[in-house]
Structure 1
Amino acid sequence: MSKKTNYSYIGIAFIILVFGIIFIPKIIDRITNKDVIRNESRSDYATENKSVGSNLAFIEINGEPKKVPTFSFTDQNGKKVTNKDYEGKVYIIEFFFTTCPTICPRMNRNLIQIQNAFKDFEDFGVASFTINPDYDTPEVLKNYAEQYGVTNPNWHLMTGNKEAIYKLANEGFNLYTAEEAEVAGGFEHSGNFALIDKNGFIRSRKDVFGNPIIYYKGIVSEEEKVDDDGSPEEISALKEDIKKLLNE
């Protein structure tokens, strides 16, 4: 073998040595600090590592994360239900009434769709509060639940003291509720859903400006795509965010 060939091997070995000294520690450091971007094509958050937190915002009031107020009402089965029954569960909150002729049927059809999408999750639920408790007795609520196909044991349709329910809606969640004789059905209320995490905090995704959207539109379905004003539906976003919270 010629001296020239020996010099070539020595040169190659020197280059490999320099590469290892300079670049390998940097690669290891990037991996250690999780600075390597992984292309994640899956949308099934339920199969991902449960220790990873989501990017959903906390709704803050005076600098403090807003938590579900304490409540105690009676559900469609005549059972006393409190906020503690939802601890450790991700759930949706709505305010409705069974004789509502306008938005409630649309809201609850969307909730049934969400219920069916998460039928295998024991830690998912719904809390529905009637704003017409004088009429909506446990028996009426039970018939309503059966009519719509409520099967999730963590979906409680609740009735009780009207003042307490209205205070929970208007002050606890800032979801507008009022008795108005002049409107269809005799009551006005928000058509939005609130999303609650396993620790009882109100959560939501952020808008394009980085601000929490706070609530999710409950009236427009995924199939409809947009509402009458051209704004996109938010049921699909709500489903995605439920998955994220279930994995926190």
Structure 2
Amino acid sequence: MPTGSNSKKKYTYIWVSAIILIFGTFAVYEIVMRLEKGTVVENDRMSEKSDDKVKSVNTIPSKDSTKSIVGFIVSQGEKRKVPDFEFYNQDSVLISNKDYLGKVYVVEFFFTTCPTICPIMTKNLVELQETFKDSEDFGVASFTINPRYDTPTVLTAYANKYGITDKDWHLMTGDKDKIYELAQQGFYIFANEDQEAPGGFEHSGMFALVDKNGYIRSREDEFGNPLIYYRGTITEEQGVNSDGETQQISILKEDIKKLLAE
């Protein structure tokens, strides 16, 4: 028969377990609601000030990457699709979302004078370019968030500087409001003009992955939750950043291969 002290401990453990269960259930509900509303990354942004502070929902990769699922991003009951866009690339050619149909491609928002995260992002994208150089169905869509400065001529110089050679890697410029609308409302990727930020802009260092039919896709973690985006500011060589976050270029490569095979 338990003593009074043991009985008291027993009921204390029961209350603690109940509290954990209640708060755990609430946290799951919040995540689901944010995904349904399409606001999962409104406050999960990274700026050039914070050096890779983005927190996305469940960034734990599957233990067995060969069995991981590259699922769809569902918002308000519908699979999220890349909205229509039309901008000029580094060759002054008008490029739209229709030019990417039939291709698996990675999306980023950057600017050429970025002094912090953009060079790392570009390096990672060049790594993807080299990995899939023999695939005609792979591409990259880079949208400048400083179109006033990043003209086609400037974008061409940037492409030459970093060894961008893939004919399906378009560095695009155009109307600033439309680019920001595409970033924030089309992809839910943060971008903002901020004179106090390094280079005058702050933005997310995340990559979005799009399939051949124009749907935004994402790996699901071991719990069946989407990563949403892939970290673009940590190289495979670096492995882990100062915050203990791991690189996701390796799993992005794996997921691109899976989508190319669909």
Q: Which range, TM-score by smaller chain? A: 0.7 to 0.9
Which amino acid counterpart does residue 201 of structure 1 have in structure 2?
Answer: Y
Q: Deviations over 1:113-147 (max 9, x none)?
A: 11000000001000000000000000000000010
- Following superposition, the deviation at residue 158 of structure 1 comes to 0.2
Distance in 2 between residues matched to 1:64 and 1:208, nearest whole Å: 23
1:58 aligns with 2:72: yes
2:108 equivalent in structure 1: 94
Correspondence 1:31-180 to 2 at 5 A: 55-180=69-194
| Structure 2: runs of 5+ lacking an equivalent | 1-64
Distance in 1 between residues matched to 2:178 and 2:230, nearest whole Å: 23
1:187 aligns with 2:201: yes
- Following superposition, the deviation at residue 229 of structure 1 comes to 1.1
State, as a whole percentage, how many aligned pairs show the same letter: 61
1:202 aligns with 2:216: yes
Q: Deviations over 1:2-28 (max 9, x none)?
A: xxxxxxxxxxxxxxxxxxxxxxxxxxx
2:260 equivalent in structure 1: 246
Distance in 2 between residues matched to 1:228 and 1:62, nearest whole Å: 36
1:215 aligns with 2:238: no
Which amino acid counterpart does residue 136 of structure 1 have in structure 2?
Answer: D
| Structure 1: runs of 5+ lacking an equivalent | 1-42, 46-53
Which amino acid counterpart does residue 147 of structure 1 have in structure 2?
Answer: K
Which amino acid counterpart does residue 80 of structure 1 have in structure 2?
Answer: L
- Following superposition, the deviation at residue 209 of structure 1 comes to 2.1
Correspondence 1:6-17 to 2 at 5 A: none
Which amino acid counterpart does residue 70 of structure 1 have in structure 2?
Answer: D
Q: Deviations over 1:198-230 (max 9, x none)?
A: 000000111232100010000000011112111
2:53 equivalent in structure 1: none
2:244 equivalent in structure 1: 230
Q: Deviations over 1:74-126 (max 9, x none)?
A: 00000000000000000000000000000000000010011000000001000
Which amino acid counterpart does residue 168 of structure 1 have in structure 2?
Answer: L
**Aligned-pair RMSD on alpha carbons?**
1.4
SS in 2 for 1:126: strand
- Following superposition, the deviation at residue 55 of structure 1 comes to 2.5
